[in-house]
Amino acid sequence: MTDAEDRQTESGAAEVVKEDDKSINGNINGTIPAEETSTAEEQFDKEKFDALVKQVRDKLDNMTKEMTRKFDEMDHKLDQLEQSMENMAQKPEEQSTEA
């Protein structure tokens, strides 16, 4: 290979590397090619998004209501258990005073 061919190969390789650096740096810096940007905007549908948000909110609201109902049931059962334990604690005292 001659010196001219070596320089041509080196400069060609250097140009390829520089182009790769630009594409990598462009993506790293957050730039999106125009064709990707337009399709992303076209795919976004505000009505579908709002419907999905409403659906999620409704589901969370229903879950909250269900958990509140279950908590209230458990609280009621706990109150009954505490009352039952108090009654059981008082019965031996009553039996010992009767004897």
Question: Structure pTM?
Answer: 0.44
Domain locations in the chain? 1-44, 45-99
Amino acid at 38: S
Q: Which helix (DSSP H) or strand (DSSP E) does residue 99 occupy? A: none
How many CA atoms, within 13 angstroms, populate the side-chain half-sphere of residue 90? 6
Close Cβ partners of 32 (under 8 Å, ≥ 6 residues apart): 40
Give pLDDT tens digits along the chain (99 positions): 555 555 555 555 555 555 555 555 555 556 655 555 556 666 678 889 999 999 999 999 999 999 999 999 999 999 999 999 999 988 877 666 665
Residue 94 DSSP SS3: helix
